[in-house]
Amino acid sequence: MSKALTQRTLFLTGLAMLAFAGNSLLCRLALKNTPIDAISFTSLRLLAGALMLWLLLRWRNGGGQIRGNWRSAAALFTYAAAFSLAYVHLDAGTGALLLFAAVQISMLVHGLLQGERPDRAQVLGFALALGGLLALLLPGASAPDLKGALLMLLAGVAWGFYSLLGRGTREPLAASSGNFLRTLPFVAVQLLAYWPQLQGSGLGVLYAVLSGALTSGLGYFIWYSALPGLSAFQAASVQLSVPIIAALAGSLLLAEAISLRLLLAALAVLGGIGLILRARVSKV
């Protein structure tokens, strides 16, 4: 059995990757440039995402029933919390490398266990994309803080699990709404546990709300809409583009220098992903 990609799946996948990159930029801006702490950022992000998706569900379906499940909600909360906490200890390059390495490993192992077998073009594309990502990130990455590294690896595994759980979703908006709403009890427990340590600022709150409502809530809805059209190998590999997109956007929006190395790495990653998405995945 093989899986061919439609134009709709390609379009939704591209939008989702842009949203993920935007979310990374907002998180980086908030935690590094404002006083907001990681717990407050995560809580506001999930609350804003839940509200946005609930409103969208009511507008689109006239108050249709929410879907989702507690396993997906737990995976979503674990990813969001670990991601924010990890970036307190890690620089952006090291964190991105650890996150997406964990995502790839968790999703590819699952795909292999389910009988998916990538063809030669996809293996070449994945190697090209991963090589471009390593060429960009490794030379500037210092030895990571152990606590931060473990948290980011946990975030990557949780995100991979969340993505895999969403591949069979027939109602992505209802599922995303339910998953975000189900994270709120976890958020409440986290806020109570860390209440004396919480701090924030107007700009930090704005970044967190934008991250939750737009690049998380709407972004994950779009991702859930794309997932049924992707194999596990394709879904894992295409996410290699996110650190590249985030780095390029950071160069344009945050006045970071654009180097020849960055441009070559971007070409390698996007070219590799092109090979992966044009090919087919066989299942034995």
- What pLDDT digit, counting tens, does each position of 176-193 carry? 889 999 999 999 999 998
Work out how many domains the chain is built from and give that number: 1
- Band (95; pLDDT cuts 50, 70, 90): confident
pLDDT reported for residue 158: 94
In three-state secondary structure terms, 117 is strand
Q: Is residue 1 part of a domain?
A: no
CB atoms inside a 10 Å sphere around CB 85? 22
pLDDT reported for residue 82: 95
Q: Is residue 128 part of a domain?
A: yes
The mean pLDDT value for 9-22 works out to: 89
pLDDT at 205 over 90: yes
Tokens, residue 71: 């396993």
Q: Is residue 56 part of a domain?
A: yes
Q: Is residue 151 part of a domain?
A: yes
In three-state secondary structure terms, 257 is coil
Q: Annotate 202-235 with b (16+ C-beta within 10 A) or e (fewer).
A: eebbbbbbbbbbbbbbbbbbbbbbbbebbbbbbb
In the chain, the largest separation of any two C-alpha atoms, in whole Å, equals: 55
Q: For residue 89, give the nearest of 155, 44, 138 by alpha carbon.
A: 155
Residue 148 to residues 79, 157, 212, Cα–Cα distance (Å) = 13, 14, 22
pLDDT at 74 over 80: yes
Q: Is residue 2 part of a domain?
A: no
What is the residue range of 200's domain?
A: 7-283
For the chain, the distance separating the N- and C-terminal CA atoms, rounded to the nearest angstrom, is 8
| pLDDT one-digit tens code per residue, 19-63 | 988 888 888 788 888 999 999 999 999 999 999 988 888 877 666
- Band (284; pLDDT cuts 50, 70, 90): very low
Q: Which of 75-84, 94-103, 109-118, 224-233 has the highest mean pLDDT?
A: 75-84
